[in-house]
Amino acid sequence: MTILQEILVWTQGLPAWQSDAASRLIAKQVLTPEDLEDV
């Protein structure tokens, strides 16, 4: 398992908004103002 996969597994135990924020950060590396409003 790669570190990225381990992080994604770990985020599944977080509240939904935190998991979503982490997924967006992993995918984009920078959150947009729209992402911040969504989260």
**pLDDT tens column, 1-39:** 899 889 989 999 999 999 999 989 989 999 999 998 998
In a domain, 39, yes or no: no
Contacts of 17 (CB under 8 A, 6+ apart): 39
Count of domains for the chain: 1
If you write DSSP's letter for every residue of 16-37 in order, what string do you get?
A: HHHHHHHHHHHHHSS--HHHHH
12 inside domain: yes
Look at residue 33 in the predicted model and tell me its pLDDT.
94
pLDDT given at position 2: 93
Q: For position 8, what pLDDT does the model report?
A: 86
Q: For residue 10, is it within any domain?
A: yes
Indicate whether 20 belongs to any domain: yes
Residue 14 pLDDT: 95
Supply the range of the domain harboring residue 17: 3-34
Task: Tell me the whole-structure pTM to 2 decimals.
Answer: 0.72
